């Protein structure tokens, strides 16, 4: 899309927002229902496009993208009346006899920038919250998942009035131009590197942002845990979507005394879940591009392969791979992996495990496998991370009651469910006062008696 066309699109969204139409709850519900119908009607197209991008199966696309989107729309439709109503709060004595309210109001015209790894979920989930909260939206999906981006543009741009919601396709240059415009809110999902660019661009106009970023998410396994179940849940979480999940276990820390036993269990779980013919297993997703494939292959070629390591370059496929033993100095431990490669390190005691995790930026997720409540308490108390699970991986994301987001280098702000509605709303505080009473003590001339009364009413 031409830059001038983008500019007039933004202007038309601003004009539309100014009509107050998006503030009508009935209107928001109609748009959300329309969204769901359009996605349902076009499921086949959505499955085909994402398969072309990285051979992602229908089952996984439904399970990890569409089902979550439908759940988010259904929840918003059910709760929006409650979420959007003004909330009365108590008034303090000093303001007697006023009433106090909090009004959620939409920000206005918002920009949502998506990542490629769950192209539908990460692009459209924030949009559901933005529309539920009464905003207009321009969505820029990732150009790297080009087919998914194109099908979203086709479905959305033929379903919605562009003044409310429109997809603008494009790469880095388009994104840069979009970021130069004056938005009321920017919601970005992607790498910490681009997150900083977005944050800087937003600062120019004092635009509030949510940054959903990434990092190296640790998985810590203690000897007392249910080892077989731990191996099963780690294998599922790590290799889902070909390992291209922002909250996938990035590296594994195993208590030293169970390392061999646990690695055996991991190996047999990989074989049970994916079989030996990973190439023809529809549950195994390819790497998104040749560049990403080569980046990952480097890790395999330059580390100790304990299991797997096979690749099929024609279809950018990498076998579930375990690297062990691995040292903290290796390149695979210096950056987010974002692929089906699991480096394994060991620790002697909880202190050492905590020290290793602290060597990295605050991660997006952390997974802990133990039955011991004092270990749980210590890890949760001493380590900072976006969110996570105890004795499971990934699934904290699927509970809409849990705000989803990072901290520090892994992000800023959160969403999902009511949290998403709050993210796209400004909460306007109002004190509503009658005029029949006015305390004389706030006015000059000041006196010691007035000071005492102020102290009584305000402290
Ligand atoms: P990315 O940062 O490369 O790209 C994200 C978006 O930014 C794309 O739409 C792209 O067009 C745009 N972009 C890229 N370079 C740009 C530049 N120089 N200037 C302006 N815009 C630019 O991220 P990605 O490769 O699509 O996704 C992978 C990263 O995203 C990983 O770090 C992963 O952990 C993270 N991620 C986080 C979440 C989350 O929910 N927190 C979810 C998925 C992915």
Residue 152: the pLDDT is 98
Residue 17: the pLDDT is 98
Looking at the CA of residue 190, tell me the nearest atom of ligand 1: 30
Cα–Cα distance between 353 and 82 in angstroms, integer?
Answer: 44
Half-sphere exposure of 424 (CA within 13 A, CB side): 33
Q: Is 76 exposed, middle or buried (0-12, 13-18, 19+ CB in 10 A)?
A: buried
Contacts by residues 327-336 (CB-CB < 8 Å, ≥ 24 positions apart): 328/356, 328/359, 330/302, 330/303, 331/298, 331/299, 331/302, 332/299, 332/302, 332/303, 333/216, 333/251, 335/216, 336/191, 336/214, 336/215, 336/216, 336/250
What does the angle CA 148 – CA 151 – CA 157 come to, to the nearest 5 degrees?
130
Residue 30: the pLDDT is 98
Tell me, in angstroms, the distance from the centre of ligand 1 to residue 190's CA.
3
**Which tokens is 390 given?**
């105890």
Q: Judge whether 131 and 35 are in contact, CB under 8 Å.
A: yes
**Is 419 close to ligand 1, i.e. is its CB under 6 Å away?**
no
Where do the structural domains in the chain lie, given as residue ranges?
Answer: 3-213+409-428, 218-405
Looking at the CA of residue 336, tell me the nearest atom of ligand 1: 32
Probe residue for ligand 1, chosen from 186, 194, 410 as the CB with the greatest number of ligand atoms within 8 Å: 194
CATH topology of domain 218-405: Aldehyde Dehydrogenase; Chain A, domain 2 (3.40.309)
Helix ranges, 403-447 (H): 417-423
**What H or E segment, with its residue span, contains residue 350?**
helix 350-358
User: Rounded to two decimals, what is the model's pTM?
Assistant: 0.96
**Is 172 close to ligand 1, i.e. is its CB under 6 Å away?**
yes
Residue 182: the pLDDT is 98
Cα–Cα distance between 366 and 440 in angstroms, integer?
Answer: 57
Cα–Cα distance between 410 and 414 in angstroms, integer?
Answer: 11
Residue 282: the pLDDT is 81
**Is 217 close to ligand 1, i.e. is its CB under 6 Å away?**
no
Q: List per-residue pLDDT tens for the chain, 459 residues long.
A: 899 999 999 999 999 999 999 999 999 999 999 999 999 999 999 999 999 999 999 999 999 999 999 999 999 999 999 999 999 999 999 899 999 999 999 999 999 999 999 999 999 999 999 999 999 999 999 999 999 999 999 999 999 999 999 999 999 999 999 999 999 999 999 999 999 999 999 999 999 999 999 999 999 999 999 999 999 999 999 999 999 999 999 999 999 999 999 999 999 999 999 887 878 888 889 999 999 999 999 999 999 999 999 999 999 999 999 999 999 999 999 999 999 999 999 999 999 999 999 999 999 999 999 999 999 999 999 999 999 999 999 999 999 999 999 999 999 999 999 999 999 999 999 999 999 999 999 999 999 999 999 998 888
**What H or E segment, with its residue span, contains residue 306?**
strand 305-307
Residue 433: the pLDDT is 96
Query: Where do we find the tokens 């003590």?
Result: 441
Residue 279: the pLDDT is 82
Give residues with Cβ within 8 angstroms of 100, minimum separation 6.
Answer: 88, 89, 90, 91, 429, 430, 431, 432
Catalytic positions are 212, 246
DSSP 92: P
Looking at the CA of residue 114, tell me the nearest atom of ligand 1: 9
Instruction: Kindly report the CATH class assigned to 3-213+409-428.
Output: alpha beta
Tell me, in angstroms, the distance from the centre of ligand 1 to residue 429's CA.
35
Tell me, in angstroms, the distance from the centre of ligand 1 to residue 189's CA.
6
Residue 277: the pLDDT is 81
Residue 146: the pLDDT is 98
Tell me, in angstroms, the distance from the centre of ligand 1 to residue 388's CA.
21
**Is 241 close to ligand 1, i.e. is its CB under 6 Å away?**
no
φ, ψ at 179 (rounded to 5°)? -70, -20
Q: Judge whether 168 and 174 are in contact, CB under 8 Å.
A: yes
Hey, whose CA ends up nearest to atom 42 of ligand 1? 246
- Give which of 242, 214, 216, 235 is closest to 326, Cα–Cα: 216
Query: Where do we find the tokens 């539908």?
Result: 120
List, as one string, the DSSP characters of 94-139. GGTT-EEEEEEEE-SEEEEE--SSSHHHHHHHHHHHHHHTT-EEEE
Q: Judge whether 186 and 211 are in contact, CB under 8 Å.
A: no
- Give which of 365, 368, 403 is closest to 386, Cα–Cα: 365
């Amino acid at each position: 899309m031409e830059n001038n066309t983008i500019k007039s699109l933004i202007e038309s969204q601003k004009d539309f927002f100014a009509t107050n139409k998006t503030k009508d709850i009935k209107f928001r519900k109609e748009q959300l229902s329309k969204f769901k119908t359009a996605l349902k009607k076009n499921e086949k197209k959505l499955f085909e496009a994402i398969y072309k991008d990285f051979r992602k199966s229908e089952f996984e696309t439904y399970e990890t993208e569409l089902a979550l989107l439908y759940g988010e729309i259904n929840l918003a439709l059910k709760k929006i009346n409650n979420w959007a109503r003004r909330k009365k709060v108590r008034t303090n004595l000093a303001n007697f006899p006023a009433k106090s309210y909090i009004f959620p109001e939409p920000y206005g015209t918002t920009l949502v920038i998506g990542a490629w790894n769950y192209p539908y979920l990460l692009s459209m989930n924030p949009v559901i919250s933005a529309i539920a909260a009464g905003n207009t939206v321009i969505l820029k999906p990732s150009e790297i998942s080009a087919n998914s981006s194109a099908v979203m543009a086709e479905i959305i741009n033929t379903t919605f009035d562009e003044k409310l919601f429109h997809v603008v396709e494009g790469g880095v240059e388009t994104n840069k131009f979009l970021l130069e415009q004056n938005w009321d809110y920017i919601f970005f999902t992607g790498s910490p590197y681009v997150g900083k660019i977005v944050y800087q661009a937003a600062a120019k106009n004092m635009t509030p942002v949510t940054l959903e970023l990434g990092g190296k998410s640790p998985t810590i396994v203690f000897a007392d845990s249910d080892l077989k179940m731990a191996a099963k849940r780690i294998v599922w979480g790590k290799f889902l979507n070909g390992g291209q999940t922002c909250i996938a276990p990035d590296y594994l820390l195993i208590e030293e005394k169970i390392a061999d036993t646990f690695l055996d269990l991991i190996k047999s779980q990989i074989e049970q879940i994916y079989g030996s013919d990973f190439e023809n297993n529809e549950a195994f997703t390819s790497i998104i591009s040749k560049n990403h494939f080569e980046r990952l292959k480097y890790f395999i070629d330059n580390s100790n392969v304990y299991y797997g390591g096979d690749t099929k370059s024609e279809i950018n496929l990498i076998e579930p791979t375990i690297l062990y033993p691995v040292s903290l100095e290796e390149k695979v431990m210096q950056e987010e992996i974002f692929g089906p490669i699991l480096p394994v390190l060991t620790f002697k005691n909880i202190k050492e495990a905590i020290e290793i995790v602290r060597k990295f930026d605050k991660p997006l997720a952390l997974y802990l496998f133990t039955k011991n409540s004092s270990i749980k308490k210590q890890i949760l108390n001493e380590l900072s991370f976006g969110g996570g699970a105890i004795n499971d991986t990934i699934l904290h994301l699927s509970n809409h009651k849990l705000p989803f987001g990072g901290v520090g280098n892994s992000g800023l702000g959160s969403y999902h469910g009511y949290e998403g509605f709050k993210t796209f709303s400004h909460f306007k505080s109002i004190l509503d006062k009658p005029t029949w009473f006015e305390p004389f003590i706030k006015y000059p001339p000041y006196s010691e008696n007035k000071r005492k009364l102020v102290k009584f009413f305000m402290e």
